[in-house]
Structure 1
Amino acid sequence: MDLGLAGKTALVTAASKGIGYAVAERFVAEGSRVAISSRPGPTLKAAAERLRAQAPDRVHELPADLTEDGAGTALVAEAIETLGSLDILVSNTPGPRISPVLDLSDEDWETGYRTLLRPAVQLSRAAARHMAERGDGSIVFLTSTWVRQPSAGGGLSAAFRSAISSLSKQCAVELAADGVRVNQVLPGATATDRMRDIATAKAARNGTTVEQEIAEVVSAIPIGRWAEPEEIADAVAFLASPRSAFTTGHALSLDGGAVRATL
């Protein structure tokens, strides 16, 4: 299926590896012009080089530390200047510390806010203003199935990603008249470094092995495996594309059937 993304401009954050990288790679394959961002460093440079090997003239790297106040707003402005416009924003933020709620300090909560929620607010606000002026655009937030079904140790992620989920729905309501669609993708267990980090933290807390923790997660997934980042990227690309022109305010879970709630 041609998603109609050729020539579109997209900004993808936390795109140096994992799901973010897979999303950027999918946009490149679809013919989009893409700006990728993450913290400055060799990982981002390497990601940009791999993507440029596929599309030398359509990939731009924009280093940014989104934990800094105002960085999200500045990044969107830089992306618009670099790309000439911005059709698509994929707001992706790294996961916070895994820990029981009672072991979290005030600083942990403040760090979670700076890492997850504030960047999502600043990125989406800046992008939406630009898109609304043009009368067209698409924003996709990457949240988590922990929004719907929390897991032990995931309090920071569940709390802040739930706030992002509500932000997504609110933006969808308020921006629809301006031609801006806003949706979210909720990945479940996905084969990324982040998921291995989660399994490692749980193993340390529970006195088990990483392999045992991974096996327990997989046992709860009816399909019987983790998702691949590319499978998440497929869904993001569809929701961002003109092929989903009548879809806004949607929350799409990709979890292999692990979350079986009806709402």
Structure 2
Amino acid sequence: MDLELTGGTALVTAASRGIGRAVSERLAEEGMTVVAGARTTARGTEKVGGGVIVPLVSDLADAEQTGGLVDTVLSRHGRLDVLVLNTPGPRIVPALDTGWEDWAAAHDLLLRPVVQLAVAGGRRMREQGSGTIVLLSSTWVRQPAPGGVLSASYRSAAAAFIKTLAGELAPHGVRVVHVMPGATGTDRMQAIVETKAARNGTTRDEEIEAVVRDIPLGRWAQAREIADVVAFAASPRAGFMTGSSLVVDGGAVRATY
């Protein structure tokens, strides 16, 4: 299926590895110029499929740097058609063991950069009369997990912001979609499993088994599978979808809506 993205420009944050990297590759395969933001860039410009991935140093924890990302993309590429808001995960810790420094750090990773970038990108897309913003978060918004209080709290706030933004931008031809991946085989998931094993006095394999046991499809997602959903949601093929929250989790969330 042609997703009709050829020739467009995308900005993907936290794109050096994991789901962010997979999304960058997938959009480039569709013929887009993908600006891949990351704290460090080990790669140069890459030809992928019919498009290219262009690295851009960007630390989401730096408010000033984050605030200039959209303008940088516009100055170099002239337009912004897809904005994928991907953020690193915060510390895994029980709620009663958190300190205010944990909340402040998580805020500056999960909420502030999402608001900064969505406002800047949304204003530009409103001027264009087109564009799509995709927030990548987590099923912990719907079904919090032990140790995930920082992620669930701030990602939930980001989800509410994005839902509101979708209604404001829809009359201007701009769509906003929220994608919530479940357990995915990334470095981040490996770190979560190891943290749980250390806390619970179990092994890494035991914790992986516990995670998979709760997934009806019986396995983790691959980052590519999440990227496929993001690419479709970002494309004109999903032209009547906005304000939607898409759960991609192998059936793990038990809620009916």
Q: Shorter-chain TM-score category? A: over 0.9
1:45 matched to 2:42? The reply is yes
Structure 1 CA distance for aligned equivalents of residues 59 and 169 of structure 2: 27
Q: More strand by proportion, 1 or 2?
A: 2
Aligned pairs for 1:165-244 (under 5 A) are 165-244=159-238
The root-mean-square deviation of aligned C-alpha atoms, in Å, is 1.2
Moved more, 58-67 or 178-187: 58-67
Match of 1:105 in 2: 99
Deviation at residue 56 of structure 1 after TM alignment: 9.3
Aligned pairs for 1:112-131 (under 5 A) are 112-131=106-125
1:81 matched to 2:81? The reply is no
Deviations 1:134-188 (A, max 9, x none): 1111000001000000000000000010011111100101110111100010000
Deviation at residue 194 of structure 1 after TM alignment: 0.3
Unaligned runs of 5+ in 2: none
Structure 2 CA distance for aligned equivalents of residues 235 and 89 of structure 1: 14
Deviations 1:23-70 (A, max 9, x none): 000011101111000102xxx323x45xx1436973311101111123
Structure 2 CA distance for aligned equivalents of residues 73 and 205 of structure 1: 37
Contact 1:62 1:79 (8 Å CA) reproduced:
no
Match of 2:145 in 1: 151
Structure 1 counterpart of 2:88, from 90, 94, 99: 94
Structure 1 CA distance for aligned equivalents of residues 159 and 199 of structure 2: 29
Structure 2 CA distance for aligned equivalents of residues 56 and 109 of structure 1: 41
Normalised by the length of structure 1, the TM-score is 0.95
- The 3-state SS of whatever aligns with 1:37 is strand
Moved more, 70-79 or 103-112: 70-79
Moved more, 177-186 or 57-66: 57-66
Aligned residues: 257
Match of 1:27 in 2: 27
Deviation at residue 110 of structure 1 after TM alignment: 0.1
Deviations 1:98-146 (A, max 9, x none): 0000111100000000111101000101000000011111000001000
Unaligned runs of 5+ in 1: none
Moved more, 74-83 or 183-192: 74-83
Contact 2:85 2:136 (8 Å CA) reproduced:
yes
Deviation at residue 72 of structure 1 after TM alignment: 2.2
- The 3-state SS of whatever aligns with 1:185 is strand
